[in-house]
Copies of this chain bind each other. A is one copy, B any other.
Amino acid sequence: MMKHMNSVAMVKSASSPSLAAPSSVFLVDDDASVRRALARLIKSAGHSVQTFASAREFLDTQAGGDGAACLVLDVRMPGVTGIDLQRELQTLNRDVPIVFITGHGDIPMSVKAMKAGAVDFLQKPVKDKDLLKAIEQSLAQAARDQSRRAEIDQIQKRVESLTPRELEVMALVVTGMLNKQIAFKLGTVEKTIKVHRARVMAKMGVDSIAELVRLTEKINIHPAQNQ
């Protein structure tokens, strides 16, 4: 009830930059001594660390992370390998920046990992400086990804608050069509479009076409086979 007409205020107050993001690092390696050593190093750099002995363990435990996070991942592990995990996370749409570390890697493996978007691919013994630098980059990227995703999530929420008709109208408005043209296309009259249009602006929380176009550009709604 009232769920639509209230969405403007709702969305606006939801602009929470209230994340005290604890920037945590997930470390997955089957070698306990490596886990200990690297966890220590990473902590010393001021990051919080969670260690996992296998990809499976990571997947089971760490289903949903909150703040910006990255993954330091051993390539060669019994069972699910690092590369496997990378692919799996991608198909899960759960994309976390990954730094690979390996003792017995080869070029094709590193290339595959990098193609798949790894931040870095380091060889053991890893130099402290290299690892920390890669982690910094990863966390920075994670933060960027997160804020970007938060933004489009918020836009998406607003779009979902639109009625089907309003969505149609919006899609045509951001094309640059005039109200009368839209009305003709939708088989109705200009007056009706004006009403829908005003509601769209309100629900989307904008007060100019320029802003509306920017919002819709950030999601999917482009001028397609319109007109």
Q: Is A3 part of the binding interface, using a Cβ–Cβ cutoff of 8 Å?
A: no
Contacts of A96 in B (CB 8 A): none
Q: How far is the CA of A108 from the CA of B206 in the complex (A)?
A: 49
From B121, B175, B208, B223, A176 is in contact (CB under 8 Å) with: B208
Q: Is A88 part of the binding interface, using a Cβ–Cβ cutoff of 8 Å?
A: no
From B107, B174, B207, B214, A121 is in contact (CB under 8 Å) with: B107
A interface vs B, CB < 8 Å? 105-108, 110-111, 114-115, 120-121, 123, 173-177, 206-211, 213-214, 217, 223
Contact A107 B108 (CB under 8 A): no
Contacts of A121 in B (CB 8 A): 107, 111
A175-B210, A213-B210, A217-B217 are contacts. A111–B108 as well, Cβ < 8 Å? no
